[in-house]
């Protein structure tokens, strides 16, 4: 909470600034954490409304019954609708009030999901087990391709444009363990030279030289250690 309570504000009134006062809640305008927290909060709103839609006591709006829709969310706009009867309106109101924050605590204790948008939610460095889905996803992609019918140039293009993008998506958020980077490098190296995910030591050119720029007789592959 230090990023909120240690901030001071001043108001511009009558051509001058008032005495600074400390903030107690909310994030400063333009804070990079704001959209991230907003997405997490709206995720819970949609989950609660999805659970409400399964309640037999609530009735859908006549025009939304076939779709089974009870809300529409776009950016920071949320539309909720149901049939205009007392029971349905009360259930909709009670569900929405569960998510209202009171000073110092929330009326309902919410548990964060372990993953969001494909990556784990963690405040510390990820372990090897948490990062293992990267290796599995890269392996699954290679197994779906008919790599034996591809040339070296075709495999190289897939490594640059597809496989490395999986690793880059995680790396822009977390510092990946060195063992995971070595595993990804070994899989990509085996795929380039043999077309399979089986890790072997058979390589026509050393991987360090493959990472050299084309001007230095390399293949311009990204070196994940730099």
Q: What is the mean pLDDT of the chain?
A: 78
Q: Is 1 part of any domain? A: no
Task: Inform me whether the pLDDT recorded for 104 exceeds 60.
Answer: no
pLDDT in tens, 123-144: 678 888 888 888 898 888 888 8
Distance CA 224, CA 222 (A): 6
Number of compact structural domains in the chain: 2
The answer to whether 73 and 46 are in contact (CB under 8 A) is yes
* Residue 196 structural domain: 128-216
Q: Are 36 and 14 in contact (CB under 8 A)?
A: no
Q: What's the pTM?
A: 0.47
pLDDT tens for each residue of 11-64: 777 677 888 887 776 677 677 777 877 787 788 788 888 888 888 888 888 888
Distance, in Å, from the CA atom of 12 to the CA atom of 10, rounded to the nearest integer, reads 7
In a domain, 225, yes or no: no
Q: Same domain, yes or no, for 165 and 89?
A: no
At 144, is the secondary structure helix, strand, or coil? Answer: helix
> Which of 31, 26, 28 lies closest to 101 in space, CA to CA?
26
Who contacts 135 (Cβ-Cβ below 8 Å, separation ≥6)?
180, 183, 184, 187
- Same domain membership, residue 144 and residue 104: no
């Amino acid at each position: 909470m230090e990023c909120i309570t240690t901030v001071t504000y001043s108001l511009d009134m009558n051509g001058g600034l008032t005495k600074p006062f400390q903030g107690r809640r909310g994030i400063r305008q333009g804070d990079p954490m704001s959209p991230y927290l907003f997405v997490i909060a709206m995720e819970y709103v949609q989950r609660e409304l999805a659970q409400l839609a399964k309640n037999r006591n609530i009735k859908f709006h006549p025009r939304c019954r076939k779709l089974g829709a009870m809300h529409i969310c776009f950016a920071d706009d949320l539309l909720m609708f149901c049939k205009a009867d007392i029971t349905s309106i009360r259930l909709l109101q009670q569900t929405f009030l569960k998510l209202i924050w009171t000073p110092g605590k929330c009326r309902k204790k919410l548990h964060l999901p372990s993953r969001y948008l494909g990556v784990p939610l963690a405040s510390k460095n990820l372990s090897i087990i948490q990062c293992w889905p990267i290796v599995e996803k890269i392996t699954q992609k290679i197994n779906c391709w008919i790599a034996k019918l591809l040339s070296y140039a075709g495999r190289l293009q897939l490594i640059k444009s597809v496989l490395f993008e999986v690793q880059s998506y995680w790396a822009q958020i977390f510092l990946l363990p060195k063992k995971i980077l070595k595993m990804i490098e070994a899989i990509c190296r085996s795929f380039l030279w043999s077309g399979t995910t089986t890790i072997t030591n058979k390589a026509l050119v050393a991987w360090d030289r493959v990472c050299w720029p084309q001007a230095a007789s390399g293949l311009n592959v990204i070196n994940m250690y730099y």
